[in-house]
Amino acid sequence: MRILIVNDDGVQAAQLPALIQWCRSLGEVTVFVPKYEQSGKSHGFEIKRPIEVKKMELAPDLTVWTVDSTPADCVRMAVLGLNKTFDLVISGVNRGFNLGADTMYSGTVAAASEAVNLGMKAVALSTPFDYYDHATDHLDQVLDFFRAHRLLEQHDFYNVNIPASPRGIRVTRQGGPYYSDDFPPIGDDLYQPKGKPVWADSGDLSLDTDATLGHGYISITPMTIDKTCRRVYQDLKDRGL
């Protein structure tokens, strides 16, 4: 299996070497990650300026490519720039959850989405800030679940969130907002974004937010890059439009 690893935390991400080593047990690994952290950059990519791409030794026997651009561009550079193709793209492990409606802002999820857009299968992985050092501890459990239920044979795009000391795994759907921001002024016409949680537990374990944040389950959410509202589309077509 040919695996591409990308992330939005950049080449300095502390758990990147551990993820590389884990993925090597599955097949041939290639790594394209941002030169600098790109959290919250969503699906942005460069269309004008030249992009610096450099090969570097992260550690003995750990070679990676650094891309001076966004997570989506890491995928684009690996596939379109160097004409490579992969059986699976793993994006992460992100330092911080990517849950609910907030996935629209995530560079981690966007990189996986770009991989799917280019015809590959992709899994985005995230874990909380205070559990990040244990980010790879539960990947065997997640892999076993994927294999047992043939998830990648049924669909090509999943978002996985791993809480601290998970109590099990739930297949979920996307919940509502998890975080929002205030913008207090700090002088000189400057405003400082200040994140704040807005999620409240409704007890609905079918939602990724509730299952993971409220009840400690690993959530696995099948995602899609198709933004068509099929209900409205079909209603309009049934009306002859």
- 163-172 pLDDT, tens digit per residue, is 999 999 999 9
Domain 2-175+202-238 falls under CATH 3.40.1210.10: yes
Q: Following CA atoms 16, 125, 49, 54 in sequence, which dihedral angle do they give, to the nearest 10 degrees?
A: 20
Q: Residue 224: is its pLDDT beyond 90?
A: yes
Whether the model clears a pTM of 0.75, i.e. scores above it, the answer is: yes
Structure tokens belonging to residue 33: 């990650």
Quote the pLDDT of residue 38.
Answer: 83
Mean of pLDDT over the chain: 95
Q: Average of pLDDT values for 49-57? A: 94
In the chain, pLDDT over 90 holds for what percent of residues?
A: 88
pLDDT tens-digit series, residues 65-107: 999 999 999 999 999 998 989 999 999 999 999 999 999 999 9
Sequence spans of domains, the chain: 2-175+202-238
